[in-house]
Amino acid sequence: MISGIDFGTSNCSIGIWDKGKPNLILLEGDSTLLPSALHTSRLNIEIEKIDEIALVKRVGAAKSKQTSEIKKARNEGLYIKEFTAEELENMERGAMRRELAERAKKKYEGQSISEALYADTKIVFGEEAIQKHIKDPDSGYFIKSPKTFLGADIRAQHIELFSEIVTRLLAHIKNKAEHQKKQEIENIVLGRPVNFHGTRGDVGNKQALNILERSSIAAGFKNIEFMMEPIAAALDYEQCLSKDRVVLVLDTGGGTTDCSMMKVGPSYENMTNRDSSVLGYAGDRIGGMNLDMKLAIRKIMPFFGKDSIRKNGLPMPSSIYCNAVAINDVNLQKQFSSTKTEREIELFITQSEENNKINRLLTLQRGNLSYRLNRSAELAKIHLSNRDPINLPLKYIESELYIPITRNDLKESIEQELNTFVSLMKEAQQQAGVCPDVIYVTGGTAKSPIVEEWIRSHFGNIDIVVGELFGSVTSGLTTWANKIYQ
């Protein structure tokens, strides 16, 4: 059996070719989308047994110390209670239990995600992983959007770690599809962005593709081909055409935004090599996650003290708020969750006239709630597609905290990203040297009417078709898999 897999920043999906068309598989309940998330529990650390020989020595030392203190007290005319041997033993035994429990706690908290992952602790995926993290952020290790890190400048041991995480996710997706279809999947076409997230250019892209290929093989797939995601979206659009067209695709994913200009239609759909019909493409490392973070920093963080002025006349440092929402940067998140940052926030509370707002920042930091806050920003973006304004509840910070946000607030927050979308589309069009007949928009971010309005303001009267926001790429990948693996 053959399939196409969209291993996305926000969500993953898989399609198989069935009865002459691509068919997306249910991965979580009645949804064909699996959030790109994994949660692995910490290893259980058993408390060591008390060393009875060490206990005897400690009781002996306690007796000697007590004898010395009683003698000294009598010489000074003071009274000290004298404990029996049994009482001293019980006291020392209790002290040793507490010490062992504390040592076990440090081992539990100090273990690495690699230790937990390779030990095959309980691993869950998708929405279940997200809810587990939200319910108890300290219960284990939570990885969201691993695709974001694949092209980054990371150490060799981290490359191995992310390879294992990607392998686990792909194997889970493979098992789900095979269980439903009762057939083994051997051949896949895997989507890829024009440029992976990161600052390493071609080096980062090659690293990411290498990780994805190795992980796919480790997950049990035998043959793997890659296809750029905006080209796959164009192939999906092609299935509904009765005449040839030049389409400009905008694919706004969770971590990247990609564009392609392509000739599509009946004259091309049976070709097994589409290089000649691809007229241009462009991509950048921004996506829905960046929009969420921008909305959070611009419109939510002021309710946590951002832009507040301290008693010394200095503003609150913006870096601490940027770190708080940067869920796609491991180092910044580690910095925000550190004891040093906690002490800084405690100091800022004493220095600010708006300490009630900064207390919310302390709640966010101590509760390890950065991901949950960004998820709230994402939900705000989604709800603003259907209504305007909204009141965003943040009850996990304060029971009565609601933040008013308007569609215009969102537009102001993401204007830079909207301009990037248009720049990418213009770049692909310039490469092609022709104007598109139609603009095909897909990806979760495309749901926002702000995006469509922004495109229309720059491309005039060209028809805009909004495709299946979360399935176009997967359907196109599956369509291509059927052509090359037949």
Q: How far apart, in whole angstroms, are the C-alpha atoms of residue 357 and residue 302?
A: 8
pLDDT above 70 (res 221): yes
Residues 59 and 140 grouped into a single domain:
no
Cis geometry, peptide bond prior to residue 389 (ω within 30 degrees of 0)? yes
Q: Is 444 helix (H, G, I), strand (E, B) or coil?
A: helix
pLDDT above 70 (res 292): yes
Confidence of residue 447 (pLDDT cuts 50, 70, 90): confident
- State percent of the chain over pLDDT 70: 95
Residue 170 in domain: no
Residues 66 and 103 grouped into a single domain:
yes
C-alpha torsion sign, points 176, 178, 179, 180: positive
Question: Which residue among 363, 394, 413 closes a domain?
Answer: 413
Residues 82 and 116 grouped into a single domain:
no
Residues 84 and 57 grouped into a single domain:
yes
pLDDT above 70 (res 44): no
- State percent of the chain over pLDDT 90: 64
Residues 91 and 118 grouped into a single domain:
no
> For the chain, how many structural domains are there in total?
3
Q: How far apart, in whole angstroms, are the C-alpha atoms of residue 6 and residue 189?
A: 9
- Model confidence over 162-184: pLDDT tens digits? 999 999 999 999 999 999 999 99
Residues 139 and 83 grouped into a single domain:
no
Question: Which residue among 413, 437, 453 closes a domain?
Answer: 413
Higher pLDDT, 79 or 485: 485
Residue 283 in domain: no
Mean pLDDT of 282-296: 93
Residue 9 in domain: no
Residues 133 and 56 grouped into a single domain:
no
- Please state, in angstroms and as integers, the Cα–Cα distance from residue 295 to each residue in 136, 203, 325, 397, following that order: 25, 31, 10, 18
Residues 340 and 379 grouped into a single domain:
yes
Residue 321 in domain: yes
Residue 421 in domain: no
Residue 395 in domain: yes
Question: Which residue among 413, 429, 463 closes a domain?
Answer: 413
Residue 237 in domain: no
Q: Hey, which bits of 68-186 come out as E strands?
A: 123-125, 140-144
Q: How far apart, in whole angstroms, are the C-alpha atoms of residue 307 and residue 357?
A: 11
Mean pLDDT of 295-309: 96
pLDDT of residue 174: 97
**Pair of tokens at residue 323:** 């770190």
Residues 61 and 133 grouped into a single domain:
no
**Residue 393's domain spans which residues?**
289-413
- Model confidence over 353-377: pLDDT tens digits? 889 999 999 999 999 999 999 999 9
Residues 59 and 137 grouped into a single domain:
no
Residues 100 and 125 grouped into a single domain:
no
Mean pLDDT of 53-69: 89
Average pLDDT for the chain: 90
Residues 138 and 104 grouped into a single domain:
no
Residue 438 in domain: no
CA 247, distance to chain mean position in Å, is 31
DSSP letter for each residue of 363-411: HHHHTT-HHHHHHHHHHHHHHTTT-SSEEEE-TTT-TT-EEEE-HHHHH
Confidence of residue 2 (pLDDT cuts 50, 70, 90): very high
